[in-house]
Amino acid sequence: MDINAQENNKQLIINEFTKTIEMFDIPSSDARLFSILFIEDTPMTLDEMSVASGKSKTSVSTGIRTLLEQNLVERVWKKGVRKDLYTTDPNLYRKFMNVYIHKWINHTSTQLQSLQEIEQDIKVENTSDMSVTNTQHLLEKKLTDIITFQTLIKHTFATMKSETKYQ
């Protein structure tokens, strides 16, 4: 296979893998940066990533910072190299699932807290108001259903979190 065909195949793989990474709520440019780092399979500098992605060094730096904050890439040290090098974790499944599950658990926890506060407020209002209508009862029932739904989501993701530790 000639160099052009090999490079073309590499770009096709990067493009397709980027689509998968985007499904984890990673912006397209950051997903592409991650895909490039993963496919290269060797630590890269910001300059190298800039050339490989066709993005400015500033843009690459911002993307890497975002990926670092999400714990999807890591900074590595290599003897004799003075610039920062970055790489990906070869265990993609565990890394991405942990990030994604963590987001869901945090989101559902926040939502549950807000919904439970609303529920408390409604209960206080209804105890002081003796003319509670069927519409208000229906609203309370729907709120209870939503809280149950959020609780089940949180529990499911918490269970998944403990399972991904061993993958």
Supply the pLDDT for residue 164.
66
Q: Per the confidence metrics, is the pTM higher than 0.85? A: no
Instruction: Please give the Cα distance from 84 to 110 (Å, whole number).
Output: 36
Residue range 128-151, pLDDT digits in tens: 766 768 888 888 899 999 999 999
DSSP SS3 for 87: strand
Phi then psi dihedrals of residue 45, to 5 deg: -85, 170
Instruction: List strand residue ranges (DSSP E) for the chain, in order.
Output: 73-76, 85-88
- How many CB atoms within 10 Å of residue 31? 23
| Residue 107 scores a pLDDT above 70 | yes
Supply the pLDDT for residue 52.
93
pLDDT bucket at 124, cuts 50 / 70 / 90: confident
Residue range 44-95, pLDDT digits in tens: 999 999 999 999 999 999 999 999 998 889 999 888 888 999 999 888 878 8
> Is 156 exposed, middle or buried (CB count within 10 Å of its CB: 0-12, 13-18, 19+)?
middle
Between these two residues, 59 and 164, which has the higher pLDDT value? 59
Report the pLDDT averaged over residues 146-164.
Answer: 87
| Residue 118 scores a pLDDT above 90 | yes
Instruction: Please give the Cα distance from 112 to 124 (Å, whole number).
Output: 18
CA distances from 38 to 17, 26, 32, 45, 107 (A): 10, 15, 10, 13, 28
| Residue 5 scores a pLDDT above 60 | yes
| Residue 166 scores a pLDDT above 60 | no
Nearest Cα residue to 71 out of 35, 98, 106, 36: 98
Radius of gyration of the chain (CA): 23
